[in-house]
Chains A and B, each alone.
Chain A
């Protein structure tokens, strides 16, 4: 069986602090506007009246995502130069020596993982901190999460441990690209009124 590295994201414990996002920016020297890891705050629900008082029925959760290192990466399929490639361990990478910055991968990726680097005119994205992995270290985002909500591992092993949820709001249909992610859902994702969920403060992501 081929190898496929993956992220486990425990949405039930994520506070949306964005330490992962900022750690990633530091690791990758990302200027404002370029986010390899982004954290979506979601809220929903409403208030109901009871005896003249308003009672809440609201929820909130956060979801931290980066490139999903998909099993069927559409970005790779469409990349005209072959700059996008998959390593033996399943990491989807961009070869800086080849990418011509056509941004076609951006159109293809359903996770907004592709972040155009204006300075080099090339596509960039989360590379799973492959350089750190190769040294036996954890990715910067994982190592910093104060809630220990992020973990990496072999996809099949993570699935055996945490189940196979790979699609929760606001993520797109998993069968588009088969993302290598395992999500421990936040309880609110299973609530009856979960369909009122929306991305809060959209400008922040």
Chain B
């Protein structure tokens, strides 16, 4: 199944020019575009005629940009005779800051190369040295592949699932699944799963424990984008909307800046959002934000006075418990209050700016200045990425953010707020103004309750033990992994061990994938799946103001099949009730979502029906349904591809978190024991302690953390550096949405995935800008080119997460720079991933490496 065979196919076809064109555009054309050279040059001139096709020939189809990237943007594909010629983005209405188009980002724009790239998986594949039971496991990730038929592939997969269930039980099957196989496996008796907080760090437990449920997953806090324009000060604290909130957020922040907000960035890196927004940049060591927060609290506490109020006593009194000994929740030790902890009343250690600065690296005077500015500027919004809490034991950090906002009273006021404001809700919080209905498909219950924390996952596979709670270590015996839409090996900490688990323990690994991703590369059987461009259609949302309705862009490529088709075919072979796997037709699912779509009434009083449905729609679609009046017809919605709620400053659709609670805590109580926001939070302490890894104080306190700043020292007191003297954290890189798009040559060309480092650190190591360096942690080693810049603070390096692991088998180094090779799986707190607390050493590397876009593509 070499590449020659595949590329030859269009040449061999003696078919009509039309279908010849089609094939070339799909394979030949894109192959050349991807840099495969002159050999196919003639094909691409055929496939992409110099004269643009006339408008009557083609059709614009709304194409999904379906990735977990933080954006939801409109992409339209120009399809001529079944071939996608090019893309465009939102032009459904004139663009304005208040009513902006949903413009696609660089990744969206490169989507054609992802879906129609030469490295699409074309046929089911089997690893050459695999046989049922495992074969030569050590060759996983480096074996050759054999093309097999779908029938053989499905039989093999079903056979192995059956064998493993029968020999070891359902608990031996690890299901990294959510695209359909979760239903088949549930029906077949269940499967072990993995869990952990990834995106939001420690906020998911901290937020609801302190303040009762709010937002959605805490990714939805603060203000909507128009109210954000009322902020006087916006502190972007460990966030980089220009990279991680695709689409409009960075543009929305610009509007706040135009409206007069001052922007302070607190970040180890002067990032691209700071580049256009920052009035000030305060560099901070990663994973030490808790120290800065406590130092600021110290200033506010010690300098607050009647004449110079720095603390919003009214808010603390009315809306919180736990700040000082006079406001403790029922049953708590009065000594265990936040104020006395900060002052060091009982432990003799005041958390003053001098103390804080030794840890976080911010000048004490600057801590002082920042504290005063935050305490006296209202409204101020703190915009958090997940970063400050994707740190070991960072429950304290999230808790301290909330506490500080309560002290300053910068919460619950239009233009004020604190917490996660990132991903698709970055800078635009509030409930969705337009939603799709449900598909009508009910979830199935998984009867196996083996849940492996992602930090321990590969350890558990290798050792046979996992933590199920405090003092609750259990046995587990994982024999196979099924990957559908998850990239666990690539995306979760401890990948070095993950590779070992694949090469030593697992008997069977299967992956459904579009390209040879890491999980596919390390699998035994690969099943090629269709992308959303090849599916019937669907909906995408995230941004509260829009709902995207995408349609099928192209027929399935080669032998790619839908995930659900695979789930059913395997279900058939396992003898489960296949009707339950996919009980509703694709068309009906879409129609159900259309019928159930809702949109906010202009006065903000509630939702109303979005889509007008007529008898003829129902007939045309061949589905069940009832006519209904709405705002937009099915045909219009499909043609536009998006419904966007039109906003205006001062409209009734604005949002501020905790606004009602602040106005009247009794009328809008929080769902906590005290009905208030709990600075002293026993619920949180108990919950975190119960996970079994760390013991949490009810207060936000400073703890020395695993692989934090202190751990870069061999001898902290005398400041002697250790073997891993640099701090590393991992960012969400522009080239990709996690692992997605990493293979796309246009994006590789644009972004070279460098390690970012300060020149002084490089100089000390004899490293020059642009050279390849070796980055090692306690857990693994990667090679990458280095970008030396004063934009990065000294002592710290960063690297983008998501690169597709590419092992140099001779050395064991990952040449792609996958950060989970460097991040160990270290479970703490709520079992979240501590990606931004990691220690490394960087050394000169005496070999060379081609830039990524010059690497051969993974073409099977």
Q: With A and B bound together, what is the CA distance between A141 and B487 in angstroms?
A: 32
Q: Which residues of A contact B363 (CB under 8 A)?
A: 50-51, 53, 55
Task: Please tell me if the beta carbons of A22 and B791 are within 8 angstroms of each other in the complex.
Answer: no
Chain A interface (Cβ within 8 Å of chain B)? 12-19, 21-23, 25-27, 29-33, 35, 39, 43-47, 50-51, 53-56, 58-62, 96, 118-120, 131, 135, 137-138, 140, 143-148, 186, 200-204
Determine if A54 and B106 form an interchain contact, defined as CB atoms under 8 angstroms apart.
Answer: no
8 contacts between A and B (CB under 8 A): A19-B105, A23-B89, A27-B86, A32-B746, A54-B794, A56-B270, A60-B275, A140-B88
Q: Indicate whether A143 sits within 8 Å of B276 (C-beta atoms), given known contacts A26-B110, A58-B790.
A: no
Instruction: List which B338-368 residues lie within 8 A (CB) of chain A.
Output: 357, 361-365
Known: A15-B273, A55-B363, A144-B109. A201 touches B754 (CB 8 A): yes
A17 to B241, CA, bound (A): 11
Q: Give the complex CA separation of A88 and B760 in angstroms.
A: 53
A111 → chain B closest CB, angstroms: 19
> Are B746's CB and A118's CB within 8 A?
no
B272 A29 Cβ-Cβ under 8 A: no
Contact residues in B for A33 (Cβ distance below 8 Å): 35, 749
State how many angstroms separate the Cβ of A133 from the closest Cβ of chain B: 12
The reply to whether A32 and B276 form a contact with Cβ atoms under 8 Å apart is no
B33 near A: Cβ within 8 Å? yes
A204 touches B751 (CB 8 A): yes
Interchain CA distance A160-B35 in the complex, whole Å: 43
Cβ–Cβ < 8 Å partners of B357 in chain A: 53
User: 1/0 contact trace for B258-279 toward A, CB 8 Å?
Assistant: 0000000000001011111000
Q: How far is the CA of A145 from the CA of B750 in the complex (A)?
A: 16
B283 beta carbon closer than 8 Å to chain A = yes
Name B32's contact: one of A13, A27, A46, A119 (CB within 8 Å). Answer: A119
Whether A17 contacts B242 by the Cβ 8 Å rule is yes
Q: With CB as the reference atom, state the residue of chain A lying closest to B759.
A: A46
Known: A31-B32, A53-B363, A203-B752. 19 other contacts (CB 8 A): A15-B272, A23-B89, A25-B109, A29-B29, A32-B34, A35-B749, A39-B750, A43-B790, A47-B794, A56-B283, A60-B274, A146-B103, A146-B246, A147-B250, A186-B276, A200-B787, A201-B770, A202-B770, A203-B785
Is A146 within 8 A of B50, CB to CB?
no
What residues of B have a CB within 8 angstroms of the CB of A23 in the complex?
Answer: 87, 89, 104, 106, 109
Who on chain A is nearest to B44 by CB? A119
Q: Contact at B745–A96, with CB atoms within 8 Å? A: no
Q: How far is the CA of A20 from the CA of B44 in the complex (A)?
A: 23
What residues of B have a CB within 8 angstroms of the CB of A26 in the complex?
Answer: 86-87, 109-110, 112, 746
Cross-chain contact A62 with B853 (CB below 8 angstroms): no
Q: Complex: how many Å from CA A143 to CA B242?
A: 18
For A33, A43, A60, the residue with the greatest tally of chain B CB atoms inside 10 Å of its CB is A60
Query: With A22-B106, A26-B110 as given contacts, are A143 and B787 in contact (CB-CB < 8 Å)?
Result: no
Q: Which of A15, A143, A204 has the most CB of B within 10 A?
A: A15
B105-A58 in contact (CB<8A): no
Collect the chain B residues with CB atoms within 8 Å of residue A96's CB: 50
Q: Which of B91, B105, B110, B791 contacts A60 (CB 8 A)?
A: B791
Q: By the criterion CB–CB under 8 Å, are B750 and A204 in contact?
A: yes
B663 CB–A CB distance under 8 Å? no
| B787 CB contacts on chain A under 8 angstroms | 200-201
Known: A31-B34, A203-B851. A17 touches B106 (CB 8 A): yes
Q: Which chain A residue has the least Cβ–Cβ distance from B47?
A: A29
Chain A min CB distance to B76 (Å): 11
Does any Cβ of A come within 8 Å of B38's Cβ? yes
Complex contact A29–B48 (CB within 8 A) = yes
**Chain A residues near B748 (CB, 8 Å)?**
32
Report whether B752 and A60 are in contact in the complex, using a CB–CB cutoff of 8 Å. Answer: no
Contacts of B109 in A (CB 8 A): 19, 22-23, 25-26, 144
User: In the assembled complex, which residues on chain A have CB atoms less than 8 Å from the CB atom of B790?
Assistant: 43-47, 56, 58
In the complex the two chains form, is A60's CB within 8 Å of B272's CB? yes
Asked whether A32 lies within 8 Å of B749 as measured between CB atoms, the reply is yes
Name B733-751 residues within 8 Å CB distance of A: 734, 745-751
B247 within 8 A of A: yes
Complex contacts, B251 vs chain A, CB 8 Å: 146-148
In contact, B793 and A54 (Cβ under 8 angstroms): yes
For the complex formed, measure the closest distance between the CB of B262 and the CB atoms of chain A, giving whole angstroms.
14
Using CB atoms, name the residue of chain B closest to A141. B109
Q: A147-B276, A204-B750 are in contact. Are A15 and B250 (CB under 8 A)?
A: yes
For the complex, what is the distance from the CA of A18 to the CA of B105, rounded to whole Å?
Answer: 8
Q: Is B380 an interface residue (CB 8 A)?
A: no
B283 near A146 with CB under 8 A, answer no
Asked if B95 lies at the interface with its beta carbon under 8 angstroms from chain A, I say: yes
